[in-house]
């Protein structure tokens, strides 16, 4: 038996999925609850990583190392960059994950990890610096349902940017969007993608949009719609994934 693993930062980003799981058993790994069960006939694992790259990488490592995992799907909420065309409650699907603030800051600005010339991951001649791929097999299986969803949600696919410090101003958000042509930013995805690259484990990511990146006025956020819509599409997609 192999599992499809779902990782979200916080419980509100995955509670609907957990409630829909059948034949659930609960264990603990490094103090974090791990839920095993089925969804639409698919064997799944779900855990909440906690916020940030270190928590995310730690949880991904524990899950992949402890359980027979066939793929990892990172879900949750994100802040949309202005050029994405996405608003609160819409869905972003990653085409790749990027470590947005790992590298070198010099007098002329930021440079990526390639400036250090030491890859974060290397498999043969393939070197990974700041960018990590989305698994094409998982993506093809998930994206058709997501794009043609019955909820009439707007969906965009593009690069995700993972940061240690969330954009606190529109100008910072525009800087990252321009640098990476990203559609949204988050604080965990590239760390999970990094671990998946180390283990050669398929990785996929989708997130609901909770706010415009760089806007810190929580009155203009909608975390609930972002989390609920993301989970609804996951559950719909799994019905087709199992058929």
Q: Measure the CA–CA gap between 32 and 119, rounded to whole angstroms.
A: 30
Say whether pLDDT at 243 is over 60. no
Q: Measure the CA–CA gap between 132 and 187, rounded to whole angstroms.
A: 15
CA proximity to 166, closest of 39, 72, 81:
81
169-210 tens-digit pLDDT: 999 999 999 999 999 999 999 999 999 999 999 999 999 999
Please state whether beta strands 155-162 and 184-186 pair in parallel, antiparallel, or not at all (unpaired): parallel
Mean pLDDT of the 101-121 span: 94
**With bands split at pLDDT 50, 70 and 90, how would you rate the model's confidence at 87?**
very high
For the chain, list the domains and their CATH numbers.
3-241 (3.40.50.1580)
4-48 tens-digit pLDDT: 999 999 999 999 999 999 999 999 999 999 999 999 999 999 999
Say whether pLDDT at 242 is over 70. no
131-144 tens-digit pLDDT: 999 998 888 878 87
């Amino acid at each position: 038996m192999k599992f499809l693993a779902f990782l979200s930062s916080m419980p509100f980003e995955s509670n609907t999925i957990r409630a829909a799981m059948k034949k659930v058993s609960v264990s603990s790994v490094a103090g974090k609850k791990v839920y095993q069960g089925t969804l639409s006939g698919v064997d799944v694992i779900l855990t909440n990583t906690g916020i940030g790259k270190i928590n995310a990488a730690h949880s991904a490592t524990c899950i992949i190392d402890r359980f027979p995992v066939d793929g990892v799907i990172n879900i949750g909420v994100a802040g949309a960059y202005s050029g994405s065309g996405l608003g609160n409650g819409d869905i972003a699907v990653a085409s790749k994950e990027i470590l947005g603030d790992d590298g070198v800051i010099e007098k002329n600005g930021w440079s990526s990890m390639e400036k250090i010339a030491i890859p974060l991951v290397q498999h043969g001649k393939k070197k990974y610096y700041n960018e990590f791929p989305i698994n094409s097999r998982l993506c093809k299986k998930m994206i058709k349902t997501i794009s043609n969803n019955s909820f009439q949600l707007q969906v965009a696919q593009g690069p995700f940017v993972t940061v240690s410090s969330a954009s606190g101003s529109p100008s910072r958000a525009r800087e990252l969007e321009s640098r990476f042509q990203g559609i949204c930013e988050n604080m965990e995805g590239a760390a999970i993608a990094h671990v998946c690259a180390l283990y050669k484990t398929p990785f996929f990511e989708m997130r609901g949009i909770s706010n415009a990146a760089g806007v810190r006025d929580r009155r203009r956020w909608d975390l609930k719609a972002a989390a609920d819509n993301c989970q609804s599409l996951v559950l719909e997609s799994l019905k087709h994934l199992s058929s």
